[in-house]
Structure 1
């Protein structure tokens, strides 16, 4: 049974195994998500119920009670003569509070609450209606008629009783709301526990499936793959003698069958290669049209057969004495083409020296001894090349010497003729340059005199500029000292004004303390008036005193405000003065810096003026040296004139020598025949060309 299950598992496709594992995990995750979603939806509804049934009603109840307490405080003010001037303001505020309490209570009654809470809120509404219709209206009527004693009695008797009843009702509502909140909290706790239980169960189930996949499914995939990997490694090393066993029908089994087919095909190709190595050319049968290796193998066999055919033709042609035939190497690619090119190069190396030697001997027979066997040969071919070249060199040596003599003579005649022309032109140029130099020397002498005069004037101007610069430097120093004194005075004034500003700040703090005392006094007077109103007839005298104290505090507050305004104005003026003085001090500092820079510039001017004076002295000395140099140049011009006359005489002598050389060249021309030798194309043509060139010159 176990073997059948294992065999059935092995025959299942890998994709189905993986899909099954992930499908089970997805199912568990979906169940967990569904349960969590349901519990979250339930908790959302409970949350809304908490807000609508506890948070919002509790907030409204607290606001109603807070506004009711504010209403009681306003009713107390209606019963005090001290707040008579605020009657209209308090009446408006009471109407606003009354409307808010009415709307809030009606809203709570309409809210979806349980019957116990609604019953308590209805009781609150009834008590509130009694308070506003009986107590509040009575207090307002008494206060409007200035019967503050009656208003105080109503506020402290009936108003206090209604307040106690409302407090009890509010406490009952709070208890009912807290009980409702505890019930909702219990429901949320149950939902969270349920969701947590399903999550833990799903996690355990998912972990079990994961472990099954890791320790059962993964080895079932990796173990046969590792075996196939070892087989592929052996194939990569060229070992196709392994025994491949197929046990399953899944993807691993299909891959194993493909490797077995590959093994058989490779063995066939190995056998065919061994046959070729032993000299038997045979092809292999491709397993399919996509069997690229078999197709390439057969193509290689075709190439070898064509190569054998091409080399056979070359062998037969050479046996018959035909050395001009070459193999068609362009029909072959790669190294096969290079092999045939190598055979062709061997044939070329054998036939090239023979053909070149025959051509050189034929040219020598026609009288041309300049041609040589120039090929790069070795062995016997090199020996044959050397012998032919030695014969050609020996025959042309004598003729080459005669040609060299003619060429040397022609070259010498050309050089002499060119020299004569250059010397004649040089003599003319020298005569012209002597004249130009004499004129330039006169101009230079005049310029030297002018420079000496200008140097003297410049020296006097530089001295005067230096004296004025020194005087300006002294003035700048006095200016800097005056600015420093101004800066000190401005600094002391700024410190004095700043001290005054700090004193005004201290006065402002004292005024603030007085103002706070007046506010406290006013508040104490108000509290005393309230207490006097509560005391009734006995507190009337105390109320009069409290009213006088309140008035005194108001006057004190008014006076302190006026003093504070004056102090603030003084502080502002003081701050502006300090700022202006600081700006003045900054401007003085800037002026001082600029004056320092001016002093430094004047010092540099003084230094540069001294330098200019020194340079002018040097210019005067240089002018004197230039004058002496001009006299020396004048003497040299006379020497150049004498040399020019001597050059003219030498030119005439060279012309006579050139005529004698021309006659000698014509005699040499008759000695050279019609031979063609190394470095001389044709001696007769060269001689004629030289004579023609000389006659033209």
Structure 2
């Protein structure tokens, strides 16, 4: 019962009104009844006092003259006339001397009355002057008893003397049962009317309060209950213009403000893309967003995770203590804490947490607000950048080693090119000398042919001409031998030049491989730097410079390759021409020897001069043609030697550029290492 009363303002109001009304009416009824009772007792006491005085007046006459029979006659008359009244006179010893009940005469009061209050009053009345009354109940009836002391007046001294101040007492007992019953009826009527009035008043007040107070309060309670459970669209209906009406209006405005503020707050929370969560004071999730769910690779909507502990939400461990628990325990914000955890897909993730306590307007702790910044991609990019830096460092070290090799190879190539250039210059000089000799030999052969023709005409002078021919042939043989030696030397030099050109080709191949590898490393470094974004922009610049140097190196190398190819091709042609020249020189040498032998035979065999001269003429013509061929070959060798010398100079310049590029590449790699 008390439980229902505590939960209902109507029952509380009804109980309060009923309680107050019952108490007030009970007090009023009690006071009224008591006043009526006291009034009735007062009236009865007054009436009994008058009766006592009348009885005393009626009995004083015979008693004053000592007329005992007259006194008894008066008491008998009173008993007959007032059967509902008992009259007793006692002496100072409380012994009854006269009574309307003859059976009680000469008895003590205590033998007639058993009520202690009566005995006490009668005992008091014989000692002091008393005029008191009291109400008795005995045998289902009500009696009014009045005790009046009888003082020892002067008129009594002649019989009783003056020793006793109180001679006795007059006790009058009247049956007041009808009067008491009337009082009881009045009291019951008063109570009945009071209860009826009380019930009527309670009903009127209750229905009035129910209509004007309780019902509006209940409506306010129901509406506020729905609002407390999230039904913010609930409206407060204003029923009156009194305080409750103003309360409903104010509550409606308050809900409107609350909806506006909650809408603003919810809009901010739902509009945030940064992962976050809100917890209560126990560390349970009360709100989170899609970003946080996606960050943890959780399934479902954010509302499905409301009520979980932060440990369960993050680590799938209900009892785990988290940063939010520390913030709630210390009531201080904690920021910049990086945590590592494994999401539901089994991947390791990194996040920076910033958590702060939330207080209401009164400063009471409401929970905590935690923002999660996903650093997983940043850490992944950081590792990639570190790996790229490591690869770039290794590439720089390899490129440095390659640059050193390129520089060394360039120096060696420069030395070989310089040596080849010197050989080419020497070859050009020797070729020029060989050309001069071949021109001389050609002139000599022409002269031989002319002389052979003349010899056919001048057969008579064959001996002299033969002698001169021997001398000329000897000179020719000597010059041809010189040409043969020079051609052999040229062949040897051209062979060395070919070998050196082949060496240059091998070095160029090494340089091309180094340039290709450097370009590949530069491209890889540029790709890795592009993947790193802004963090690899510096590496991209360096990689681009390395790539440009590699392209310059490859361009210079291709030029050197072209030049070396030209040198090799020219050298091969020179070798072929030189070998042909050597063969022709050998043939010329043989022919010159044969000419010498023929001239010696001419001296001995003049008879056969004509035939021999014709043979010599024929051989001279062939020799002249061979000399022309040798002369042309020597011109070609001279031209090729000049081209080779120029190519060697260009190769030297290219190798110098390559060495300079290798030095620049090494400097860039040194800067990269820093």
Q: What is the TM-score normalised by the length of structure 2?
A: 0.23
Question: Of the two structures, which has the highest relative contact order with CA contacts closer than 8 Å and spacing of 6 or more?
Answer: 1
Higher helix share: 1
Higher strand share: 2
